């Protein structure tokens, strides 16, 4: 197992539509090696999701692992480390909400993106077995962000107002305190 290089915005692979994996490829040693490397890479980078195109493999595969608990996004349900192959997203309710997203391929930046908050995900696992998940809120945003990578999209493509793209340090210094204060006020008023 090894940590792979994460390619950054500007690398053409991040803008390609990745190909589906064939059933006979899914259980292969090569695929198991790639997934092991992606897990190492995700842990090394301290992220919550990594799509294969981010390590320059243009195939429809992503790993997601969300520790859960109390975060700056509120209380988040945990998602144990899971491999998603050839995933599809169905929006079950178009109502959207926004989060400040970041991406290992766009280091140092954050952007505010509004996405549907109720989705159904269908995918295969590493044993080529079908999975189906209903996701809401922050998790729905994470999955849409990760699977966008398989279609050559980055979160910055969804930013409606360019002033909502900022550096991480400035986000923590100027935006996060304002958001926390607004949430506190809301809690006091409710």
Which part of the chain contacts Ni ion (CB under 5 A), choosing from 19-27, 82-90, 102-110, 114-122?
102-110
Asked if residue 63 binds Ni ion (CB under 5 A), the reply is no
Say whether 146 is catalytic. yes
End-to-end CA, the chain: 50
Asked if residue 52 binds Ni ion (CB under 5 A), the reply is no
Which part of the chain contacts Ni ion (CB under 5 A), choosing from 16-24, 97-105, 110-118, 125-133?
97-105
Given 103, 119, 121, 142, the residue binding Ni ion (CB under 5 A): 103
CB-wise, 47 or 116, nearer to Ni ion?
47
Q: Min. distance of Cβ 105 from Ni ion in angstroms?
A: 5
Q: In the chain, at which residue ranges do the beta strands (DSSP E only) sit? A: 49-51, 61-66, 69-71, 74-76, 79-101, 109-124, 130-136, 165-167
Q: Min. distance of Cβ 158 from Ni ion in angstroms?
A: 12
Pairwise CA distance, residues 104 & 179, whole Å: 23
Hey, how many other C-beta atoms are within 10 angstroms of the C-beta on 156? Answer: 16
Asked if residue 83 binds Ni ion (CB under 5 A), the reply is no
Asked if residue 79 binds Ni ion (CB under 5 A), the reply is no
Pairwise CA distance, residues 77 & 139, whole Å: 8
Nearest alpha-carbon partner for 54 in 83, 11, 87: 11
Tell me the two tokens of residue 155. Answer: 């979160």
Q: Min. distance of Cβ 22 from Ni ion in angstroms?
A: 25
Q: Min. distance of Cβ 190 from Ni ion in angstroms?
A: 33
Catalytic residue among 146, 169, 172, 179: 146
| Run of H or E residues at 155 | none
Q: Which residues are catalytic?
A: 146
Residues that bind Ni ion (CB under 5 A): 103
């Amino acid at each position: 197992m090894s940590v792979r290089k994460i390619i950054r915005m500007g690398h053409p692979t991040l803008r390609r539509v990745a190909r589906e994996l064939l059933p006979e490829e899914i259980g292969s040693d090569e695929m198991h090696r790639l997934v092991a490397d992606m897990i190492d890479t995700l842990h090394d980078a301290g992220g919550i999701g990594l799509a294969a195109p981010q390590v320059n493999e243009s195939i429809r595969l992503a790993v997601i692992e969300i520790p859960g608990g109390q975060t700056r996004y509120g209380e988040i349900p945990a998602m144990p480390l899971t491999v998603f192959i050839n995933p599809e997203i169905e929006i079950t309710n178009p109502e959207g909400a926004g989060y400040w997203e970041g991406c290992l391929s766009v280091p140092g930046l954050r952007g505010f993106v509004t996405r549907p908050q109720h989705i159904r995900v269908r995918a295969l696992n590493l044993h080529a077995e079908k999975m189906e998940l209903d996701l809401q809120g922050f998790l729905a945003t994470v999955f849409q962000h990760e699977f966008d990578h398989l279609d050559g999209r980055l979160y910055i493509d969804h930013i409606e107002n360019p002033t909502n793209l900022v550096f991480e340090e400035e986000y923590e210094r100027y935006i996060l305190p304002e958001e926390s204060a607004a949430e506190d006020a809301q809690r006091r008023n409710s």
